[in-house]
Structure 1
Amino acid sequence: MEQGQAPNGLSSCYRHPGVETGVRCTRCERPICPDCMVGASVGFQCPECVRNGSGTGHGPDAARPRNIAGGAIAGGDRQLVTKVLIGINLLVFLGGLFFSGLVDELVLIGLAFDPELFRVVGVADGEWYRLLTAVFLHQEVWHVGFNMIGLWVLGGPLEAALGRVRYLALYLLSGLAGSALTYAIVAPNQPSLGASGAVFGLMGATFVLFRRLRYDLRPVLGLIVLNVLITVVFREVIAWEAHLGGLVAGAVIAYGMVSGPRGKRPLLQWGACALVLAATVVMVVMRTTALV
């Protein structure tokens, strides 16, 4: 039992001993009661951290505000990367409407002869870029609409919590993991596309972040369960493999980014990213070997 912890498992506020709380400062991780909570973009901070910048450490970097992942908080728009990702998805969607053949060139497919392109196409034929381009590709308005709403709702808070670089790594690696699992399981000539894998990765990361900050998990659990039910019901037209791969990858990456002591956190963060990327490469190589 840590110092200041009550018998029921809750900690006492560091400024008000005896006042139990389950909330900690997202910067210094000290327990804080409602009277001491200062709202931040993600979570709450203690008065000292708000007053001093980071609240921990010494030297020139001590006054720089830090997010929960330990990165410096960037100035300007906290949702810049999310907006750029949405813009790219919408531009690619419009491009697919006005330029025939774009979808065939970018969609995820294992190995097949395309009669419109008059050649064999697919990841197994060396077109590995399809694993990533398919993540930004949509054909139906409802499809791109639902995915972009999910990206906007989940992405903004995560970008503010993790920082731009870590958030972008989370999004892209979740999308790649979803594509890799789809490629590894689905028949070689079955096309797949959409940002669902990346969005499910954001769901997994949100669950981990909520658990780390000791927030009420019911809202995010409800969101995950609802989307899983939709995936099961419409499994004939939805790539459940991309959803599962993205969800697991997002949770693993987020766990590495917000867990462990601050001194070792960068190692855990990029180690988790490397683990997911390695698993993605292994799945793709094994599937490609089987097809060719």
Structure 2
Amino acid sequence: MFIRTESFSQYIRRYPFVTAIIVLNILVYIITGLPIRQSSELYFLGMGYNPLIADGEWWRLLTPMFLHFGITHLLFNMFSLFIFGPELERVAGKARFLTIYLLSGVFANIAYFFLGDSSIPHVGASGAIYGIFGAFGALIYYTKKALPQLRQIMLPIIIISVIMTFLQPNVNIIGHIAGLVVGFLIGLSYFHPKRIISWR
């Protein structure tokens, strides 16, 4: 279910939105990591920082999900998207997948704006990634006995991810939990039995 067996070209063709998001994040990381002043300025312009958001720089509710602090941060998030994103894009549909991803990321940043430490900047796609987990949680809720394999795989992953959120240092706990909740709520709408999409 989550084992990727497609060739590179097949992956791109079948999951264009997941591919585009991964490529965009990698390109942004490379550009903002260049040893020139403009790169650091671009990074600063896009990162989430509550005082500047309060001053009207609302784009910072969106742009942080395409920025990462270090290669490990980037690789962890993109690997998660690479593994779990395709199945959600296939089951939910391309437009709905993009909606889940973007809204989960944006609302994770909104939640941090209202509840987080205003002195600490934040970046990363984790809120959107947790939104994917939340959407799978909604699918598990509706299917239960119908898709035991999905439940056996995703439920432990969701639980472990939440636990690790509270155990690891320098983690945006508010963003993770908010992304998870938003993804779950959107998934409840998208995967309602009246709208359920067949799982092939």
Please state which band the TM-score falls in when normalised by the shorter chain.
0.7 to 0.9
CA distance in 2, matches of 1:96, 1:230: 28
Out of 154, 165, 173, the residue aligned to residue 231 of structure 1 is 165
SS class of match (1:77): helix
Aligned to 1:184: 114
Identity %: 31
Aligned to 2:94: 164
Write out aligned runs for 1:123-272 (5 A). 123-213=53-143, 214-216=146-148, 217-234=151-168, 236-262=169-195
Alpha-carbon offset, residue 219 of structure 1: 1.8
Query: Larger radius of gyration, structure 1 or 2?
Result: 1
Letter in structure 2 aligned against 1:229: I
CA distance in 2, matches of 1:139, 1:110: 17
SS class of match (1:259): coil
CA distance in 2, matches of 1:140, 1:229: 23
TM-score (norm 2): 0.84
Letter in structure 2 aligned against 1:143: H
CA distance in 2, matches of 1:157, 1:88: 20
CA distance in 2, matches of 1:247, 1:156: 18
CA distance in 2, matches of 1:212, 1:148: 27
SS class of match (1:129): helix
CA distance in 1, matches of 2:182, 2:43: 26
CA distance in 2, matches of 1:77, 1:160: 12
Letter in structure 1 aligned against 2:194: P
Runs of 4+ in 1 over 4 A off after TM superposition: none
Larger strand percent: 1
Moved more, 76-85 or 133-142: 76-85
CA distance in 1, matches of 2:93, 2:13: 11
Alpha-carbon offset, residue 211 of structure 1: 3.6
SS class of match (2:33): helix
Larger helix percent: 2
Letter in structure 2 aligned against 1:150: S
Q: Please list the CA deviations of residues 94-144 of structure 1 after superposition, one character each: whole Å capped at 9, or x if unmatched.
A: 111011222211100111xxxxxxxxxx10011000010001110211101
Alpha-carbon offset, residue 77 of structure 1: 2.2
CA distance in 2, matches of 1:260, 1:161: 13
Alpha-carbon offset, residue 228 of structure 1: 1.5
Letter in structure 2 aligned against 1:101: E
Aligned to 1:101: 41
CA distance in 2, matches of 1:210, 1:95: 39
Letter in structure 2 aligned against 1:200: Y
Aligned-residue Cα RMSD (Å) equals 1.7
SS class of match (2:50): coil
SS class of match (1:190): coil
Alpha-carbon offset, residue 260 of structure 1: 4.3
8 Å CA contact 1:134–1:193 kept in 2: the answer is yes
8 Å CA contact 1:154–1:206 kept in 2: the answer is no
| Runs of 5+ consecutive residues of structure 1 not aligned to the other structure | 1-38, 40-75, 112-121, 266-292
CA distance in 2, matches of 1:100, 1:135: 17
Q: Which has the higher contact order (CA 8 A, sep 6+)?
A: 2
Q: Please list the CA deviations of residues 10-32 of structure 1 after superposition, one character each: whole Å capped at 9, or x if unmatched.
A: xxxxxxxxxxxxxxxxxxxxxxx
